[in-house]
Structure 1
Amino acid sequence: MTFDILKAGILPCQSIETLIATGAITSQTPFDADQVQPASLDLRLSDRAWRVRASFLPGQRLVADRIADVSMHPIDLSGGYVLEKGCVYIAELQERLSLPKGLIARANPKSSTGRVDVFVRLLTDRGASFDDVAEGYEGPLYMEIAPQTFSILVRPGTRLNQLRLKAGEPPKLETRSVGVDLRGGDIVGFRGRRHAGVVDLENIDGHDPRDYWEPLTLRRGELLLDPGEFYILASSDEVEIPVDQAAEMTPIDPSVGEFRVHYAGFFDPGFGTDEAHGAGSKGVLEVRTHDTPFLLEHGQIVARLVYEPLTERPTRLYGEGGSHYQRQGLKLSKHFKVWG
Structure 2
Amino acid sequence: MTIGVLSDSLLRAMIERGEIAADPAITPAQIQPASIDLRLGRIAYRVRASFLAGKGKRVSERLREFEMHRMVLNEDGAVLEKGCVYLVPLMESLALPDGITAVANAKSSTGRLDLLTRLITDEGVEFDRIPEGYHGPLYAEICPRSFSVLVRPGMRLNQIRFRAGQATLTDAELKILHQQEPLVDGPAVIDHGLGFSVDLRPSEGDLVGYRAKPHTGVIDLDRIGYYPVGEFWEEVRTRDGRIILDPGAFYILVSREAVTIPPDHAAEMAPYLAMVGEFRVHYAGFFDPGFGHGASGGSGSRGVLEVRCHEAPFALEHGQVVGRLVYERMAQEPGQLYGKDIASNYQGQGLKLAKHFQSV
Superposition TM-score tier, normalisation by shorter sequence? over 0.9
Structure 1: 5+ residue runs without aligned partners? none
* Candidates 288, 298, 313, aligned match of 2:333: 313
Equivalent of 1:323 in 334, 344, 348: 344
Equivalences, count: 334
Match of 1:113 in 2: 110
Aligned-pair CA distance for 1:275: 7.7
Matched residue of 1:207: which SS?
A: coil
Give the direction of change, closer, same or farther, for the CA distance of 1:75–1:267 in structure 2 (3 Å limit): same
In the alignment, structure 1 residue 122 sits paired with structure 2 residue 115: no
Q: Is the 8 A contact 2:291 2:300 kept in 1?
A: no
Q: How does 1:241-320 map to 2 (within 5 A)?
A: 241-274=261-294, 279-319=299-339, 320=341
Pair 1:335-2:331 in alignment? no
Cα 1:16–1:275, aligned 2, differ >3 Å: closer, same or farther? Answer: farther
Q: 1:56 aligns with which of 24, 40, 51?
A: 51
Note closer, same or farther for the CA distance 1:285–1:273 as it changes in structure 2 (3 Å cut).
same
Q: Which residue of 1 aligns with 2:69?
A: 73
C-alpha displacement at 1:280, in angstroms?
Answer: 3.2
Alpha-carbon distance, 1:101 to partner: 1.3
Query: Aligned letter for 1:176?
Result: L
Q: What does residue 30 of structure 2 align with? A: 35
1:145 pairs with one of 142, 146, 150 = 142
Q: Which runs of 4+ in 1 moved over 6 A?
A: 275-278
SS in 1 for 2:92: strand
Counterpart for residue 15 of structure 1: 10
**Cα distance change, pair 214–134 in 1 and its aligned pair in 2 (3 A):** same
Three-state SS of the structure 1 residue aligned to 2:42 is strand
Look up the SS of the partner of 1:56 in the other structure: coil
What code does the residue aligned with 2:223 have?
N
Aligned equivalent of 2:194 = 176
Question: Is the 8 Å Cα contact of residues 272 and 324 (structure 2) preserved in structure 1?
Answer: yes
1:93 aligned partner, one-letter code: L
Q: For 2:198, give the aligned amino acid.
A: V
Once residues 311 and 248 of structure 1 are traced to their aligned partners in structure 2, the CA distance between those partners, rounded to angstroms, is 16
Offset at residue 71 of structure 1 (A): 0.2
Matched, 1:196 2:222: no
Q: What's 2:80 paired with?
A: 83
**Alpha-carbon distance between aligned partners in 1 of 2:357 and 2:90, rounded to the nearest angstrom:** 26
Query: What is the letter of the counterpart of residue 219 of structure 2?
Result: V
TM-score between both structures, scaled by the size of structure 1: 0.96
Q: Which amino acid aligns with 1:179?
A: S
Aligned to 1:133: 130
Cα pair 1:270 1:276 within 8 Å, conserved: no
RMSD, matched Cα: 1.3
**Any conservation in 2 of the 1:278–1:326 contact (CA below 8 Å)?**
no
CA contact (8 A) 1:124 1:142 kept: yes
1:266-294 Cα shifts (integer Å, max 9, x gaps) = 10000001189975311000000001000
Gap runs ≥5 in structure 2: 175-192
Work out whether residues 252 and 302 of structure 1, in 8 Å CA contact, stay in contact via their aligned partners in 2.
yes
Q: How does 1:150-161 map to 2 (within 5 A)?
A: 150-161=147-158
User: Normalized per residue, which structure has more strand?
Assistant: 1
Structure 1 Cα separation of the partners of residues 327 and 296 of structure 2: 18
Q: After superposition, what is the alpha-carbon deviation per residue over 1:300-330, rounded to whole angstroms, capped at 9, x for unaligned?
A: 0000110010001111100123211001000
Distance 1:69 1:188 in 2: 44
